[in-house]
Amino acid sequence: MTSSSRFETDKKTGETLIQLGDKYLASGEVKRAAESYSLAKDYLPEAQEKLRTLPQWTLPTECDNSVGHPLGEGCCHIKVKDALFRIFKSSSLKSSITGPFFTEGAHPPLPMAVSKDTLKSQESECTFYDAPDTNSVVSCYIGADEDTKLTLRNQINEIINQFDNNFICMDAVRELVVLAMIPDRAVFSHIITQMLKVIKEKPLFASIVLQGMAVAINSCPDEIDMSDMQGIYLEILRPLLQHLKTLQYKQNQYQLVPLLHSLSAILNAMVCKSVSSLDRETIFNPLYDLLDGLKSHDDTTVIFLAMYAKQALAYIGNNESLAMSIFRRARLAILMAGDIAGAATSVDLNKLESAYDKFTAICDFSEQAIWYQGLAYVDGILELQNWSAFEAFVLQSKLSMDEYFLQGICLRLEQIASTQQDEIRTNAIKFLQAVAASSPKAVQKTAQAALKRMEFAESSVCSSQDSRQQTPEKPFDCLTLQANRDFLLPVWDPIWHRVTRSTLLKAVQQKERTNKNIDEMHGHIVEMKSDIESGQAQTMAALDKANTNIDKVINNLPISSTLGDVEIALQNYYEPLLVIKRVSGKILPLESCYINLAVVEAPDQREKDKQDLKAQSVIYKRIPSHERTEGTNMASPIPLEELFKKQRLRNGSDDVPKTILIHGRAGIGKTTLCKKLVDLSLCKQLWRECFDAVVWLPLRELKSYKSRDLENLMKEKYFPGSVPNSISLSRTLFDQAENGKVLFILDGLDEFQRGDDLALDGLLFQLLKQKRILITSRPSGVDKSILPPIDLELETVGFSPQNVNKYLHIVVPEEAEEINNFIRQMPVIQGLVNIPVQLDAICYSWDSLSKHSNDITMTELYQVMVRKLWYKDAILLGKKSSGQTISANMIKYLLPYQIDVLMSIEMEYLGYLAFKGLKDDHQIIFDENTLSKTMQDLDSNRKKKNKKYLPHFLHHDLKKTSFLHSADAGLDKSAGILCGSWHFLHLTFQEYFAATWITRHLQTEPTQREEPPLLMTFEETKRFVLEHKYNPRYEI
């Protein structure tokens, strides 16, 4: 063989070996890659260079600065931006977006999160019992021998089981993500199984858990072969497919966007882990078709996320993808994803270039997939948090002209702005604004929607720059960003691997210590028994010793219920309560209800205003529908998230308020405020430096409980007999309250009726003496003589015009502008729509209201809204016509006067109840006795006029309608009878029904008038109207 031929053969051999080494490196098998490069170095000098860049090999002098790098020693930190410049230096296409937005080197050192590489390198001497956090447990496992691993595996499984024991929060999810780094297939399967179980049982937390599942799959060590775990993937994807079908059918956009985010993240993780061949009939085709069908959706974010998930699904493939071209394309995509993962971990120039070579090669197989792989490449860079490299890729890549690619960049810029701080956040917003200004229309819509969501999150959750800076965990606990309905913490954010509280671990450690103490106690008993049997003379002494030792061990046992257990139980109690139900019966996300708080600067002025209002009517006193807010400084609102921050108190000092009084008109959202406080504290983990638990107590409920002391009330209300360890839970919570670590939300002080029950009054005073309290009340319902010194007095003032606009665009986006114009042209309505329930009723009735002219009267407005709700309630009550139950289809054809006739009995009852309440000392809350008495009065009156009695269960049926509401209806636990308090949908609706009663009374023919009258004679009614015709209290 000639030297020339030999040279050609050696060159081909070397190139083949380098290609094989590249594949090994792309899939994370560094050792096998090194072996291939070693064989090739005799043939090609390029192999020598690749060997020098591997972490296990000696580095040249210029790479010595990598020592001590968070990703491990020996990592040659070549700037990603330099690599990108070499990749794109020949690119001919340029973006129309002008930069730069991020400065050179504008990225912090990688976060001190525990990575897979650093976990493997740690030599920890700690045991499971003294492990300070979950990361340490993983380190213990990786460095342990096989016998120790067996014991640790059982304890780790106990930690995972705790995730199913009710406690769901960001820290708990992150604990499972860290545990997913353990190189054990059974542990990983257990983690995924528990996550799926929680998703099924607690859909409220599904988005957080699904996103964490995607990170867990990405975190799974390479030692675990995930490509054949078909059973697990089917279990993950089946419920997602079913939920997606349900949301698509219901057109529920609020939940559809987070679900598509999570689905995309999980499918991407499967691609990175070389998963392929999903079952075509049961999973692949139905999911692919469903995603494809969403491309006709009217929301650009939904369309993009569906197409993104579809691309990931296409690269996974199905079990019938046998064509060589498809196989080759899928394999290439997986190799590239592996390269990106490797590059993102070691910042290796050769890996970046190798990844980009495969990335460009994909163009040969699928034009549609280029943008998807480009975004996967971007995510690898974002994991490094190298913002300047991210910008270089976006602006210099030929993908900068691709609509789908730019839509994905918009969402990632939104994630950067929502998770970073200061200059990085500001620059990301500028970048996003530039995309919105100079991109195709679809991209502009996506960018503008992202900017609006960020504006919404800013105003609702994180309005203060200080709040972002002062929270110890970066970035200001991201779970508070859930107020943005489309935001989910991105899988590339390092915070997923940072566990702060290790709640699951602490619960297992506590349990293990308790069991150990019990075993010690058992050993003492056995020892004492042996002493007793050793001789009659020592029997009594041994028994005494045994009893002493047993008592000592039992007394030294720790309290079985920890603060974490209390938090779990409270979370279970509150979970079904943290929703808002619209008048239509649909559920509205809690984040779509706005709370605006303003400081009451002059309490004396408010008291004077109250007296002035009372003086306007001597006989008929009631709360005005639109109470004045004199004394309230509307110019300095307090964001809800800053309520428990250091601020100026009423006594002139600067401190964190401990006693807060919040006023609010009827229907303005005081109960919604309480729900948001519970949600922000328990679910979003805010204010942990101030208190550890929140107790929300509607004061009108106190009389329905047997308990007349605080500790027993906690057990009876929050930890009833069906809750395990209810006694120890209530004791732990009571102890925390004694230490000032519990916030008591005392809801509705005006609704507490003090009376003959002195023990009940004593319970109220005990509550008011707690170290941390927040009281809500109507303005005129506060008896200041019983209040403790107030640190901060606020008023919740309802929706601002901006809130009204946002609410309309969320609830009725297509009619939002029409309704806005209607409100602007009706000054009298502008005083009503800041009350959430009023605005919701107008939205629900808009199809009927839109047919009226803009000069509609207040009477006509309420007639339309009431009739619209009667149409819904008639079906709910099973109303009949000609002996046939009226269906939803039939009722559409009823005319307005026909619905009035159909519901005439209900209107008669509500009219009498409403007017009697306003006449009798402005009564707006009605108990069961009042409802029954109203029934008796009307039946007695009908008997005199030889009319049929009212239906027997009328007053119970009316509780199912839109007009009578209750927050505490149920069974009296002490007496075993129905109890509860009821009120009209809003005070103005009570006024409307009272007006219908008066009108009907005045329009009755003289011969048909009631004698004796039920409430007032005809002449008395006329005098009532004349006397109060111009009274501002009755202007509605």
pLDDT tens digits, one per residue of 834-863: 888 888 888 888 888 777 766 777 888 888
- Which one-letter DSSP state was computed for residue 518? H
Tokens of 500: 């702060």
| Ranges 124-138, 745-759, 986-1000: which has the least confidence | 124-138
The stretch 321-328 carries a mean pLDDT of 38
The stretch 882-899 carries a mean pLDDT of 82
Of the segments 27-36, 343-352, 518-527, 746-755, which one has the largest average pLDDT value? 746-755
Binning the chain into helix, strand and coil, the percentages to the nearest 5 are 60, 5, 30
Strand order in the sheet with 659-663: 632-638, 597-600, 792-796, 659-663, 773-777, 742-747, 693-698
pLDDT (tens digit per residue) in 911-920: 888 888 877 7
The stretch 965-973 carries a mean pLDDT of 52
C-alpha dihedral (227, 229, 232, 234), degrees to nearest 10: 70
**3-class secondary-structure state, position 792:** strand
**Amino acid occupying residue 595:** I
Please give the residue that has the higher pLDDT: either 506 or 361. 506
For CA atoms 581, 582, 588, 590, the dihedral sign is negative
Question: What local confidence, expressed as pLDDT, does residue 744 receive?
Answer: 93
What percent of the chain stands above pLDDT 90?
A: 1
Tokens of 114: 């525990």
Question: What local confidence, expressed as pLDDT, does residue 772 receive?
Answer: 92
Measured between alpha carbons, how far is residue 839 from residues 234, 686, 764 in Å? 44, 30, 35
- Which one-letter DSSP state was computed for residue 749? G
Of the segments 425-439, 619-633, 1000-1014, which one has the largest average pLDDT value? 425-439
Q: Which of 445, 422, 421 is nearest to 432 (CA)?
A: 445
Tokens of 780: 């005129």
Element (H, E) at 588: strand 587-588
Question: What local confidence, expressed as pLDDT, does residue 8 receive?
Answer: 63
Place of tokens 């075509």: 280
Task: Give every CB contact of residue 937 below 8 A, 6+ residues apart in sequence.
Answer: 912, 1014
**b/e per residue, 538-550, with b = 16+ CB within 10 A?**
eeeebeebbeebe
Tokens of 149: 């691993």
Phi, psi at 880, each rounded to 5°: -120, 150
pLDDT of residue 101 exceeding 60: yes
pLDDT of residue 382 exceeding 50: yes
| 985 within 8 A of 841, measured Cβ to Cβ | yes
| 596 within 8 A of 796, measured Cβ to Cβ | yes
CA–CA separation, 824 vs 256, rounded Å? 33
Question: What local confidence, expressed as pLDDT, does residue 297 receive?
Answer: 84
**pLDDT band (50, 70, 90) for residue 657:** very high
pLDDT of residue 384 exceeding 90: no
Cβ–Cβ contacts within 10 Å for residue 1012, how many? 7
CA–CA separation, 857 vs 986, rounded Å? 19
pLDDT (tens digit per residue) in 395-431: 777 777 788 888 888 888 888 888 777 788 888 888 8
Q: Which of 505, 557, 518 is nearest to 152 (CA)?
A: 505
Instruction: Indicate the pairing of strand 659-663 with strand 632-638.
Output: unpaired
**3-class secondary-structure state, position 161:** helix
Instruction: Indicate the pairing of strand 632-638 with strand 926-927.
Output: unpaired
DSSP β-bridge partners for residue 687: none
Question: What local confidence, expressed as pLDDT, does residue 481 receive?
Answer: 40
**Amino acid occupying residue 706:** K
CA–CA separation, 334 vs 321, rounded Å? 15
Place of tokens 């009564």: 923
| 115 within 8 A of 70, measured Cβ to Cβ | yes
Tokens of 563: 């603060």
pLDDT of residue 815 exceeding 80: yes
Question: What local confidence, expressed as pLDDT, does residue 890 receive?
Answer: 85
The stretch 319-331 carries a mean pLDDT of 42
If you count them, how many residues does the chain have? 1036
Q: Which of 568, 831, 935, 554 is nearest to 723 (CA)?
A: 568
pLDDT of residue 35 exceeding 50: yes
| 106 within 8 A of 409, measured Cβ to Cβ | no
Question: What local confidence, expressed as pLDDT, does residue 132 receive?
Answer: 75
Question: Which segments within 850-939 are labelled E, that is strand?
Answer: 880-881, 884-885, 926-927
**b/e per residue, 710-730, with b = 16+ CB within 10 A?**
bbbbbbbbbbeeebebbebbb
The stretch 356-383 carries a mean pLDDT of 62
Question: What local confidence, expressed as pLDDT, does residue 781 receive?
Answer: 64
Phi, psi at 200, each rounded to 5°: -70, -40
**pLDDT band (50, 70, 90) for residue 551:** low
CA–CA separation, 275 vs 226, rounded Å? 7
State how far Cα 200 lies from the chain centre. 16
pLDDT of residue 468 exceeding 50: no
| 683 within 8 A of 169, measured Cβ to Cβ | yes
The stretch 573-600 carries a mean pLDDT of 76
pLDDT of residue 332 exceeding 70: no
**b/e per residue, 450-475, with b = 16+ CB within 10 A?**
bbebbebbbbbbbbeeebbeebeebb
- Which one-letter DSSP state was computed for residue 871? H
The stretch 663-685 carries a mean pLDDT of 82
**b/e per residue, 395-414, with b = 16+ CB within 10 A?**
bbbbbbebbbbbbbbbbbbb
- Mean pLDDT of the chain, nearest integer: 71
The stretch 458-471 carries a mean pLDDT of 45
CA–CA separation, 550 vs 555, rounded Å? 8
- Cα-trace Rg, the chain: 34
Tokens of 17: 């070996």
> Residue 250 burial by CB count (10 A; 0-12/13-18/19+): exposed, middle or buried?
exposed
**pLDDT band (50, 70, 90) for residue 773:** very high
pLDDT of residue 568 exceeding 70: yes
Question: What local confidence, expressed as pLDDT, does residue 959 receive?
Answer: 77
**3-class secondary-structure state, position 581:** strand
Task: Give every CB contact of residue 426 below 8 A, 6+ residues apart in sequence.
Answer: none
Cβ–Cβ contacts within 10 Å for residue 994, how many? 22
Helices 563-574, 710-718: inter-axial angle, 10-degree rounding = 60
The stretch 792-812 carries a mean pLDDT of 84
pLDDT of residue 774 exceeding 90: yes
CA–CA separation, 673 vs 799, rounded Å? 12
| Ranges 242-251, 321-330, 411-420, 714-723: which has the least confidence | 321-330
pLDDT of residue 345 exceeding 50: no
Question: What local confidence, expressed as pLDDT, does residue 3 receive?
Answer: 55
Q: Contacts by 610-615 with C-beta closer than 8 Å and gap 24+?
A: 610/779, 610/780, 613/1033
Instruction: Indicate the pairing of strand 654-655 with strand 647-648.
Output: antiparallel
CA–CA separation, 829 vs 941, rounded Å? 37
| Domain boundaries 565-798, CATH class | alpha beta
CA–CA separation, 993 vs 862, rounded Å? 10
| Ranges 10-19, 424-433, 529-538: which has the least confidence | 529-538
For CA atoms 367, 373, 378, 379, the dihedral sign is positive
**pLDDT band (50, 70, 90) for residue 223:** confident
CA–CA separation, 649 vs 537, rounded Å? 72
* Domain positions in the chain: 3-88, 503-558, 565-798, 816-1034
The distance between the two most distant Cα atoms of the chain, rounded to a whole number of Å, is 129
CA–CA separation, 119 vs 721, rounded Å? 44
CA–CA separation, 427 vs 846, rounded Å? 42
Element (H, E) at 59: none
**pLDDT band (50, 70, 90) for residue 602:** low
